[in-house]
Amino acid sequence: MLARFDEPIAAIATAPGRGAVGIVRVSGRNVQPVIDAVCGRALRPREATYLPFRAADGSPIDHGLALHFPAPHSYTGEDVLELQAHGGPVVLQLLLARCLEAGAALGLRVAQPGEFTQRAFLNDKIDLAQAEAIADLIDASTEAAARSASRSLSGDFSREVERLREALVHLRMLVEATLDFPEEDIDFLQQADAQGQLERLQQTLGQLQQRARQGALLREGIKVVIAGQPNAGKSSLLNALAGAELAIVTPIAGTTRDTVQQTIQIEGVPLHVIDTAGLRDATDEVERIGIERAWSEIRQADAVLFLHDLSRREDPLYQAADAAIADQLQRHLGPDVPVLQVWNKTDCIPSANHAGASEDVWLSARTGQGLEALRKRLLQLAGWQAVPEGLFIARERHVRALQEVQAHLTQSAACLQARQPALDLLAEELRQAQQALNTITGEFSADDLLGVIFSSFCIGK
């Protein structure tokens, strides 16, 4: 995103569509000409004023509230004007057009996606992790994700990263000082307990990684694909997990021709569950395409529920088809993708015939028996470990950055523990660890990374 940050910007800051109230936001080094033209009077800082919003000929476009936030005490750190009008899309478009007209001499233009928040970041109002938390709070699909995003927005995650960074900088300082005074070298580092400091760093990092993984799970969730032969009960299982009749269920094999997806939440963790066409050799062209799509979803899954029909368990043909699917799953899936064996239709056979592996799940999608056990196993597959309080939202890029820090600290430990410690290599590994850590809060971030992050925001934010 190649934005010009010396130009003032304007945008509708509320969601598209009709509503009781809509907001038009303007931000720049000086928005006074827009205030004078649209509001027709001076505004007291940070005080809502009810007045008519004027068109170029002086006629009112609408009546509403105007607020002026002088720099630097605003969301973006610049002068900000917010006009709260009635939430009709035509009214808001007229109001935005009037602002652009009034600010034409200033170079006022329509904001790009995320540009208001990007300016807040560039003007040191928030760091990059907090900026991302704003988008995550807006997009939160569960209450737990919203609360965690709010903690990240308030700076909880950033403070954890900063504490780790300060400890890392202190250790770097010791090593760099030793390089400047080589006659002191190892004795100096031993007296300063460099080894102990590094071990404590790794321990703190491990705790932060664990919480970041949980935070990323709250934000991203996992993709769970239900796979199996026709009429195993895949659609019934999706409906049971979702608590709604989302997929068509009939006794006719091949009823499901396309994928059906629903996001459910278990203990606040979003799981994107996908029902797929029954896997078999199909001659019908439509069903064949559905099966191809099923395998496409399976290859992209974070976890697979391999659903079996208990009522056909003793049928040799059914067993052979299940074995063929299991072999294909092994070829299509990576080694880190778990496959959970789920046996459906326990209501159709005696409980004495429910023998199988201890990690398998036995249930009836029709009666709901065993669904709670499946939910618990899904959380285990996701890697969820509930943290009582203080969990912050995180993104996959944060997790990868912390993994990079871990790799550099591991190399640092190897350098320090060598028979002849390579202090120059140790210093370099610590420097790279700090650089990886800095990418989380944006103290070191490439412009293209910023472009990707902020382009995912909505316009007006």
Annotated binding residues for (6S)-5-formyl-5,6,7,8-tetrahydrofolate, as ranges? 25, 82, 125, 461
Contact present, 114 and 456 (Cβ < 8 Å): yes
Neighbour-count burial for 154-190, b at 16+ CB within 10 Å, e otherwise: ebbbbebbbebbebbeebbebbeebeeeeeeeeebbe
Which residue positions form the known binding site for Mg(2+)?
235, 256
Describe the strand order of the beta sheet including 269-275 as a list of residue ranges.
Answer: 260-266, 269-275, 222-228, 303-309, 339-344, 361-362
Which residue positions form the known binding site for K(+)?
231, 250, 252, 255
Amino acid at 33: P
**Angstrom distance (rounded) from CA 169 to CA 350:** 65
**Angstrom distance (rounded) from CA 180 to CA 321:** 70
Which residue positions form the known binding site for GTP?
231-236, 250-256, 275-278, 364-366
Contacts of 242 (CB under 8 A, 6+ apart): 262, 264, 273
The H or E element containing residue 24 is strand 19-28
**Angstrom distance (rounded) from CA 26 to CA 32:** 11
**Angstrom distance (rounded) from CA 40 to CA 102:** 12
CA 259 vs. chain centroid, Å, equals: 23
Which residue positions form the known binding site?
25, 82, 125, 231-236, 250-256, 275-278, 364-366, 461
Contact present, 128 and 445 (Cβ < 8 Å): yes
Q: CA 85, 90, 95, 101: dihedral to nearest 10 degrees? A: 180
Contact present, 434 and 169 (Cβ < 8 Å): yes
Contacts of 257 (CB under 8 A, 6+ apart): 277, 286, 287, 289, 290
CA 205 vs. chain centroid, Å, equals: 21
Amino acid at 328: Q
**Angstrom distance (rounded) from CA 116 to CA 262:** 33
Beta bridge partners, 143, equal none
Nearest to 157 by CA among 456, 458, 437, 453: 437
234-242 vs 371-382: helix axis angle to the nearest 10? Answer: 90
